[in-house]
Amino acid sequence: MSTTVDVAPAPHTTPEVIAHPSRVGAAVLSGGLTAALGVAGISLGIAGLFHKVASVHIGWLVPLVGVQLNLDPLGGLFVTVTGAVAVPVGVYLVGYARHEHLPRLSLAVLPLFVAAMLLVPMAGSVTTFLLAWELMALASLALVLTHHRRAEVRTAGGLYAVLTQLGFAAILTGLLVASASSGADTFAGLAAHLDRMSPGTRSVVFVLTVIGFGSKAGLLPLHAWLPRAHPEAPSPVSALMSAAMVNAGIYGIVRFDAQLLGPGPRWWGLALMVVGGASAMYGVLQASVATDLKRLLAYSTTENMGLIVLALGAASLLSSVGARDLAAIALTAALLHVVGHAAFKSLAFLCAGAVLAFTGLRDLDQMGGLARRMPTTTVLFGIAALGACGLPLGAGFVSEWLLVQALIHAPRGGDSTLALAMPLAVGAVALTTGLGVAAMVKAFGLGFLARPRSEGAAKAREATPSMVIGMTLAASVCAVLAVAPVAVGPALRHVLDTLSGIAVPNTPRLGVMLRLPGAGSMSPALLAAALAVAVLAVIALAQWGARHRPEPATVPLWACGADTLTPRMQYTATSFAEPLQRVFDDVLRPDTDVEISHYAESRYLVEKVAYRAQFTDAIEERLYRPVVRGVLAWAGWVRRAHSGSVHLYLAYGALGLLFVLVAAR
Amino acid sequence: MTAGGVFAAALQGVGVAAGAPFVVGGMRQVRARLEGRAGGGIGQPWRDLRKLLRKQVVTPNGTTVVFAFAPAVIAGSALLIAVAAPLFATGSPLDSSIDLFAVVGLLFIGTVALGLAGLDTGTAFGGMGASRGLTVAALVEPTIMLAVFALSIPAGSTNLAAIVSTTQHHPGQVVSPAGLLAFVALSIVIIAETGRLPVDNPSTHLELTMIHEAMVLEYAGPRLALVEWASGMRLTVLLSLLANLFLPWGIGGDHPGVAGVLVGAAALVIKVAILSTVLAAGEVFMAKLRLFRVPELLAGSFLLGLLAVTASYFFVPALGGST
């Protein structure tokens, strides 16, 4: 029986690159610069979180308005997170660039990309913000197109360019409307002159900015670039994009829609919850059937950003009904999840990069058995996967716990909007957690355990020391967040102080024991310790009767008595996800095909069975295609006016000029 | 943390650890008698465990530490839930650190450990069991969470002890719409989670229908003993929780004396005995569902759980919670 599974683009095989001395030098320079920028970002961010940092105005840099840089605790948190992602990536890059060819342009743009990401949360005026935003978008586009000789990379790059620029246009329009109607360019001015904006204008700005920032955060329906661009970019770039750049979208929503324009009317919160909940569920569903490791991680980013936006929406909704203490819990959940997601997702992408560099594989169907060949990478990916599935002992557990607490303790009675929104949100979070576990078990179990399913996996080697150091840095942050979220407690409290429009300053204390007044308590550290004690106790109990036992033995697999088990008989990622694919058939709409060819002699004997499953993004198919078709039809119609006659063009010009003159009078 | 609470927690751990094989044995015996067989007796699982623990530790070629330690993780997580949950009394010292969300997480950790062990063997059956087990778990755990959240809303806390004592003081809540919906949803998912009919047949070794058995096919000796013991403990703990969440009579309070704890233990033994007998008797009259009909059953119970949470938002009982 032959199984042809054509789910992901064929893995690109990487010829062993003999590192040229000058290329090593360039990699060390680029990695060092990236890590240094990261360290600078962390120290600046921490300064911004805990102290008052003087604002900087550079008048000559940009005509008319100049560049305005401010650093408040909210910006400080995102600067710190970006810096903390950049440090491990920079260290990792040194080893990575020796094995995977990275052109000089990419190596040069990488630190620039980090600098732009650090600038975005520091911007203190609309102009500066937009400049930094566009710099970040262009730098990331250049990095996505690193391996532009491959067709998939060019398609992904094109899609990313279009969606990111559409998002930028929405943000630009929204912020210009806000700036024009309040008559201020700086954020401080915007906040001071908020009363000059009518509620209608504010809602227009809200919708435009949520669309724009949502496209950057990978939220539905503008998420389609994420599962394409992240897998095609080099892995250190994927880590930066998926762990740090998407946060810029969250930052924008918090800064503009929660802090400067907010608190808004109730439907703002509801809209954010709907977008966030839909993104979370759709993302996790796609992740649970994805077989390309990096594509799976990219969809998991959509899922996690969805959860964060759901939490932000819940905070806004709760604050609009007066439950400001619960709004503080929801906001804490959102911010903590930003930090946690940055930690485990950067680690996951770095591990995926190590696998890609040393096996040439991205397709889970071809992997397997890496635990024996790459033990360190396996352990580190396990830490990342545990964080991503939101189980206890993982970096994502505490924030999901806080989110659920905020949702289920919403004030009851009277308000039917709240009574409908909150249970549905709890259901969405619960289902997301459940499916997230299945997705991550698939990524870890199929990719790293069992036996190699291909030549590449069988010949894997452990990652180089600098890559391991980079990954270990990220893993240690994951471990701290998993058992001691108390470490980020003070920072989050300072951030919440700047969001006093929504949440009360009396924020949840992230101590060793998380105790929420009137909601419940939990202690991640005690839970981890108790579980360790329980497992040790069980191991000790299992020693009962040990003296009667013969010596332990290592024997061949029993496998129901079969004597020749080949690796091809194992379950693959596609077969693992098949039950889920069946259950959610209506949402995923997979394109599956079973081809059975018979022997010529008898049609009762099967010669070959070929199974093909192709997962296209259902939203892309049904939303983007009609839009693209519409645009093309319109363009075809407009083209009729372009006949090539110069006389006609002169007439258009003259008519246009006359029209402008009349309008300007 | 009181001495009584510590005593209750310790006794819970010992009681569940020692009692779980008897629960499994009792259910097998009920089935055997109803099917007209003599049965192996209620102590047979214990005798099996003793036999397995004296056998050689066998490690299949090519498996990793995941395979070796998964049984300890699943048994450890089950034991931890037994110690932390309000079974004999509500005063467990761990109750404030391990709330409902953490309990569901611990259950899930056990499932994940077993699924990874199944994948680690690299056999077709291991993968099949892991795939099916995780699919069922991905739908079951959210439902458990929703159902018990519906109960936690009146209590104003997600800590199990608070939920149980609220129900104890306001028994009328159980018959509220939210309570009834949550009860049905929780019963269905407990059947699925513990691998009973009609979701999985605990006594099957028929290749195409296995879920739990397929994952543990490569285990033997002491490790198999741990896996069997752990699945018995999970069944016992979940049945006990079901009993105490909806019918908490007899359970000791936050500061229980020795007598209170013993009364609570006796009450729980009776409750679990009744529940497991009913469950086993029901299984006799039931056929296993086709595997791909199982998600429909689970989706139904998820919906019931969602309705339960919604109902508890809409119908605020007059007696209220802590507020």
Q: Whole-number mean pLDDT of chain A? A: 85
Render A185-254 in DSSP notation, one character per residue: SBHHHHHHTGGGS-HHHHHHHHHHHHHHHHHHHT-TTS-TTHHHHHHHS-HHHHHHIIIIIHHHHHHHII
- Evaluate if residue A150 carries a pLDDT over 60: yes
Tens digit of each residue's pLDDT (9 = 90 or more) over B62-84: 888 999 999 999 999 999 999 99
CA distances from B226 to A86, A307, B118, B233 (A): 44, 37, 15, 10
Taking the Cβ of residue A376 and every Cβ of chain B, the question of whether any pair is shorter than 8 Å is answered with no
**Cα–Cα distance between B262 and A610 in angstroms, integer?**
63
Q: Residue B59 phi/psi, 5° resolution? A: -110, 120
Q: Which residues of B50-77 are buried (b: 16+ CB within 10 A; e: fewer)?
A: eebbbbebbbbebbbebbebbbbbbbbb
Strand partners, A593: A612
Percent of chain A with pLDDT over 90: 29
Confidence band for A10, pLDDT divided at 50, 70 and 90: very low
Contact B147, B182 (CB under 8 A): yes
Chain B closest CA to A22's CA: distance in Å?
41
Across the range A374-387, mean pLDDT stands at 91
- Evaluate if residue A165 carries a pLDDT over 50: yes
End-to-end alpha carbon distance in chain A: 78
Contact B82, A531 (CB under 8 A): no
Tens digit of each residue's pLDDT (9 = 90 or more) over B167-184: 888 887 778 888 888 888
Compute CA A47 distance to the chain's CA centroid, rounded to the nearest angstrom.
26
Taking the Cβ of residue B177 and every Cβ of chain A, the question of whether any pair is shorter than 8 Å is answered with no
**Whether B123 and A520 lie within 8 Å, measured CB to CB:** no
Across the range A522-534, mean pLDDT stands at 88
Strand partners, A606: A598
Chain B residues within 8 A of A578 when measuring between CB atoms: 131
Top residue of B114, B205, B219, B313 to mutate, by most chain A CBs within 10 Å, is B313
Predicted local confidence at residue B157, as pLDDT: 81
- Closest by CA to A306, choosing from A397, A225, A400, A398, is A400
**Cα–Cα distance between B9 and A489 in angstroms, integer?**
31
Predicted local confidence at residue B293, as pLDDT: 84
Chain B residues within 8 A of A536 when measuring between CB atoms: 76
- Closest by CA to B185, choosing from B151, B242, B143, B240, is B143
End-to-end alpha carbon distance in chain B: 24
Strand partners, A611: A594
**Cα–Cα distance between A512 and A523 in angstroms, integer?**
6
Across the range B116-121, mean pLDDT stands at 91
**Cα–Cα distance between A448 and A382 in angstroms, integer?**
9
Taking the Cβ of residue A563 and every Cβ of chain B, the question of whether any pair is shorter than 8 Å is answered with no
Top residue of B101, B128, B218 to mutate, by most chain A CBs within 10 Å, is B101
For the CA atoms of A40, A42, A46, A47, what is the dihedral angle to 10 degrees?
10
User: Is the N-terminal amide bond of A221 cis, ω within 30° of 0?
Assistant: yes
Q: Whole-number mean pLDDT of chain B? A: 86
Structure-token pair, residue A158:
């094109």
Chain B closest CA to A121's CA: distance in Å?
34
**Cα–Cα distance between A286 and A304 in angstroms, integer?**
13
Top residue of B104, B132, B135, B149 to mutate, by most chain A CBs within 10 Å, is B135
Contact B74, B110 (CB under 8 A): yes
Structure-token pair, residue A268:
């703002």
Predicted local confidence at residue A579, as pLDDT: 85
CA distances from A584 to A284, A580, A587, B139 (A): 12, 6, 6, 12
Q: Residue A56 phi/psi, 5° resolution? A: -115, 135
**Cα–Cα distance between A383 and A444 in angstroms, integer?**
10
- Interface size A-B, in CB pairs within 8 Å, comes to 288
- Evaluate if residue A557 carries a pLDDT over 60: yes
Structure-token pair, residue A641:
């006016």
**Cα–Cα distance between A252 and A168 in angstroms, integer?**
12
Contact A316, A502 (CB under 8 A): yes
Mapping DSSP to helix (H, G, I), strand (E, B) and coil, where does residue A66 land?
A: coil
- Determine which of A271-275, A352-356, B97-101, B242-246 has the lowest per-residue pLDDT on average: B97-101
Q: Which residue of A has its CA nearest to B77?
A: A531
CA geometry: angle A233, A239, A242, nearest 5 deg: 90
**Whether B217 and A424 lie within 8 Å, measured CB to CB:** no
Q: A476 exposed, middle or buried (CB, 10 Å; 0-12, 13-18, 19+)? A: middle
**Cα–Cα distance between A381 and A415 in angstroms, integer?**
44
Chain B closest CA to A297's CA: distance in Å?
18
**Cα–Cα distance between B109 and A189 in angstroms, integer?**
51
Predicted local confidence at residue A340, as pLDDT: 92
Predicted local confidence at residue A518, as pLDDT: 61
Chain B segment 257-286 residues within 8 A of A by beta carbon are: none
Question: Which residues lie below 8 Å from residue A381, measured CB to CB, with a gap of 6+?
Answer: A347, A348, A351, A352, A443, A444, A447, A448
Predicted local confidence at residue A7, as pLDDT: 41
Percent of chain B with pLDDT over 70: 96
Predicted local confidence at residue B270, as pLDDT: 93
- Angle at which helix A126-144 crosses helix A104-122, to 10 degrees, equals 150
Strand partners, A67: A58
Chain A segment 172-231 residues within 8 A of B by beta carbon are: none
Q: Residue A123 phi/psi, 5° resolution? A: -60, 135
**Cα–Cα distance between B105 and B98 in angstroms, integer?**
10
Top residue of B53, B98, B131, B193 to mutate, by most chain A CBs within 10 Å, is B131
Predicted local confidence at residue B193, as pLDDT: 82
Confidence band for A136, pLDDT divided at 50, 70 and 90: very high
Chain B residues within 8 A of A537 when measuring between CB atoms: 76, 79
Domain regions of chain A by residue span? 22-508, 622-664
Could you count the other beta carbons within 10 Å of the beta carbon of residue A519? 23
**Whether B109 and A570 lie within 8 Å, measured CB to CB:** no
Mapping DSSP to helix (H, G, I), strand (E, B) and coil, where does residue A84 land?
A: helix
Predicted local confidence at residue A172, as pLDDT: 93
Predicted local confidence at residue B228, as pLDDT: 92
**Cα–Cα distance between B252 and B256 in angstroms, integer?**
5
- Evaluate if residue A504 carries a pLDDT over 90: no
Across the range B95-118, mean pLDDT stands at 89
**Whether A552 and B64 lie within 8 Å, measured CB to CB:** no
User: Is the N-terminal amide bond of B222 cis, ω within 30° of 0?
Assistant: no
Confidence band for A3, pLDDT divided at 50, 70 and 90: very low
Confidence band for A507, pLDDT divided at 50, 70 and 90: low
Q: Which residues of B258-281 are buried (b: 16+ CB within 10 A; e: fewer)?
A: eebbbbbbebbbebbeebbeebbe
- Evaluate if residue B1 carries a pLDDT over 60: no
- Evaluate if residue A458 carries a pLDDT over 70: yes
Taking the Cβ of residue B218 and every Cβ of chain A, the question of whether any pair is shorter than 8 Å is answered with yes
H helices of B121-257, in order, are 124-155, 160-169, 177-193, 212-215, 221-246
**Whether B149 and A408 lie within 8 Å, measured CB to CB:** yes
Secondary element (H or E) of residue A458? helix A455-458
Predicted local confidence at residue A13, as pLDDT: 45
**Cα–Cα distance between B119 and B13 in angstroms, integer?**
30
Confidence band for A223, pLDDT divided at 50, 70 and 90: confident
Tens digit of each residue's pLDDT (9 = 90 or more) over B187-217: 888 888 887 877 787 776 666 677 888 888 8
- Evaluate if residue B317 carries a pLDDT over 70: no
Predicted local confidence at residue A8, as pLDDT: 42
- Evaluate if residue B322 carries a pLDDT over 70: no
**Cα–Cα distance between A480 and A67 in angstroms, integer?**
37
- Closest by CA to A214, choosing from A329, A302, A117, A331, is A302
- Evaluate if residue A330 carries a pLDDT over 60: yes
Taking the Cβ of residue B132 and every Cβ of chain A, the question of whether any pair is shorter than 8 Å is answered with yes
